[in-house]
Amino acid sequence: KFNIKSEDLVPGDDYGMMREVLTRRFSRLIKEHQRDDAKATLSAEVTEDAAQDASEETASSSTDMPAWPDLVLIDGGQGQLTAARETLEELGLTDVPLVGIAKGPDRDAGREKFFVTGKPSFMLPERDPVLYFVQRLRDEAHRFAIGSHRARRKRDITKNPLDDIAGVGPTRKRALLRHFGTAKAVSKAGMDDLSSVPGISEAIAKLVYDHFHE
């Protein structure tokens, strides 16, 4: 899973998000799993970005990304496939197989259309086991994405503004909330009120006050 970092992208820019994810994914792959037969060269700028991604994402995972894929499935039609191919070509990669999978009319499962560079689009029989397998892959990818969005939204909802104040640990946070009732009430409190809370010194009271009144 990748969190989109670019501030220039707007919600709904599928092409832009796809380019960012593929660039980060394969830049890191080139750096960590360079192939003897890979016809790829990487600029210093991309290498630096890959190193940054590696350091950030390794913090949440103790294992490296898998080695080179045999196939990359793109959730989309010819446009998404073209964007993906151009992104990999910019990294010097021309030998990674790509297949685009467009949803059928009215998003009917079983009527998906497949796109491969240099070949006409095609469909698989509705009862083809390969089609069932690809549908399950796509559904799992969607499930992971939706689950990730829900988890982040839940964290944002339950996050307490006091968590962002350096020097205010769990004990002091509980003391403030016990005294004022809510984080919103803490944010409106004056210096004298804050410093009157048991366990809150004048220095900590100033930290809290300054945090909400900068």
In a shared domain, residues 130 and 169: no
In a shared domain, residues 88 and 166: no
Assess if residue 8 is contained within a domain.
Answer: no
Assess if residue 28 is contained within a domain.
Answer: yes
DSSP assignments along the chain, one per residue: ------SS--TT-HHHHHHHHHHHHHHHHHHHS--TT------HHHHHHHHHHHHHHHTT-SSPPPS--S-EEEES-HHHHHHHHHHHHHTT---S-EEEEE--GGG-TT--EEE-TTS--B---TT-HHHHHHHHHHHHHHHHHHHHHHHHHHHHHH--GGGGSTT--HHHHHHHHHHHSSHHHHHH--HHHHHTSTT--HHHHHHHHHHHH-
In a shared domain, residues 130 and 182: no
C-alpha–C-alpha distance, residues 1 and 57, integer Å:
9
In a shared domain, residues 175 and 91: no
pLDDT tens figures, 157-175: 667 788 888 888 888 888 9
Residues of the chain with pLDDT under 50: 36-48, 51, 54-62
Assess if residue 203 is contained within a domain.
Answer: yes
pLDDT tens figures, 31-52: 888 764 444 444 444 444 554 5
Phi-psi region of 74 (alpha: psi -120 to 50; beta: other; left: phi over 0): beta
Distances (CA, A) of 109 to 57, 131, 139, 141, 164: 34, 9, 11, 15, 46
Contact 170, 199 (CB under 8 A): no
CATH number reported for the structural domain that contains residue 109 in this entry = 3.30.420
Pairing of strands 98-102, 113-115: antiparallel
In a shared domain, residues 84 and 181: no
- Residues in the chain, total: 214
CATH number reported for the structural domain that contains residue 187 in this entry = 1.10.150.20
Assess if residue 3 is contained within a domain.
Answer: no
pLDDT at 72: 95
Q: How many other CB atoms are found less than 10 A from the CB of residue 69? A: 14
pLDDT at 41: 45
In a shared domain, residues 90 and 37: yes
Domain that holds residue 38: 14-140
In a shared domain, residues 36 and 105: yes
pLDDT at 66: 59
In a shared domain, residues 189 and 99: no
How many separate domains does the chain show?
2
In a shared domain, residues 60 and 122: yes
Task: List residues bridging with 72 in a β-sheet.
Answer: 98
